[in-house]
Amino acid sequence: MAANPVAPPPLGPPKKRDLCLTIEPYGTLIWPKAAAAAQIVLVGEEHGFTGFTEAQAQAALDRSWSYESTRHPRTGPHMVIRGTLQALVSERRRITRSTFNSMIEKLLQFYGTGEGYTTEPLLKEMFKSLRSNNDGNRFGELVVGVVCDSDDSVPTILRNLGLVCRELRLISTKLNDDPNVYDIDFFSLAIDVGAEKPRGSVFAAARCMLSKILQQKKILTNSNYQRVHIGDSWDKDVLGAIDAGWHAIFVDRKRTKPDVPRLIDLRLPTLDEVFEEKSVVIILNDHGENVMADESSIAGQTMPDDIVPEDCISDDNLPDDIVPDDSISDDSPPDDNLPDDKLADDIKIQR
């Protein structure tokens, strides 16, 4: 007599999509309390170093950033600030070495520790809620990262603002801790990658670190992950993310896209459904209004003219008034016994 067939086990609900959510923190989560050029003028006045305008400080800052990001993309804020002050000193202004170094430290403290930033209200609570309210109901796994055109001060700034950040970057991919206790799981920083958004290498680095996290969690593939990037630059964040195969959320505080329909009118409850309909979500402003951008609205757009492919970068592209480090006549470490009234002529750039 044939045995009764055994019924197969129930299939259960389909597995939910996992979410990798990355954020450009500047302009979305944090904002400088003062423009960098204005802060340089203020710190200069506090140290008796005057005679230059905010516009001149901004021009010097732009030149220093351009030079350092092109020649030394892994350089931190110290060299950018130093180069800015050197340019201002070189314009026949006089300053002592001790004052010069004190100004650098003051600016580094302001912009490198969180002191110089305002934050999204309830920043910490927002991240805690993102984790605690998920518990498998909205997504499967949730990984949150930072993709940022900045230096290595970003993790410190976010920690000082109260977020729990993992020490996972492209240059340090060792994982030996609990993966479930962080607000920020990884950092893909321009200073580590050697390129900025919209270049795909920044997003490729994020995918690399996502894979590391999945390996630790014994997840074999990231093909089930919905990858979404949040930022406030249409060219860098939105177009960069779309080109890299991600979806994008655009924070449009200045209402640069006023003619697109509002998200609330679409009545789509999940990210999967949203991105089946549209490829870019636009958050219009700070008053809860949301809008959507159709994929057709970004079709045919090209990389901005000021983005130069990495293999095209050469010394010939440097601004004429930026002098390489080896042309600065400070060949030896500063002498701690240097009198305060000794003018820092050796700090000046020789033209």
What digits encode the pLDDT tens for the residues 217-244? 776 666 678 898 988 888 899 899 999 9
Q: Is the pLDDT of residue 330 over 80?
A: no
**Residue 32 identity (one-letter amino acid):** P
Q: Is 3 exposed, middle or buried (0-12, 13-18, 19+ CB in 10 A)?
A: exposed
Torsion of CA 189, 64, 327, 48, to 10 degrees: -120
Q: Which of 94, 113, 91, 97 is nearest to 30 (CA)?
A: 113
Q: Is the pLDDT of residue 305 over 70?
A: no
Per-residue pLDDT band at 31 (split at 50, 70, 90):
confident
Per-residue pLDDT band at 327 (split at 50, 70, 90):
very low
In tens, the pLDDT along 87-108 reads: 998 766 778 899 999 999 999 8
What pLDDT is attached to residue 312?
A: 26
Report the mean per-residue pLDDT for the chain.
Answer: 71
What pLDDT is attached to residue 274?
A: 61
Per-residue pLDDT band at 267 (split at 50, 70, 90):
low
18-29+118-251 has which fold? Rossmann fold (3.40.50)
In tens, the pLDDT along 338-351 reads: 334 333 444 333 32
In tens, the pLDDT along 137-191 reads: 566 788 999 999 877 888 988 998 888 898 888 877 667 666 667 889 999 998 8
What pLDDT is attached to residue 215?
A: 82
Q: Which long-range contacts (CB under 8 A, 24 or more apart) does 257-266 make?
A: 257/282, 257/284, 257/291, 257/293, 257/297, 260/291, 260/292, 260/293, 260/294, 260/297, 261/291, 261/292, 262/289, 262/290, 262/291, 262/292, 263/290, 263/291, 263/292, 264/289, 264/290, 266/292
Q: Is the pLDDT of residue 25 over 60?
A: yes
Q: Is the pLDDT of residue 304 over 70?
A: no
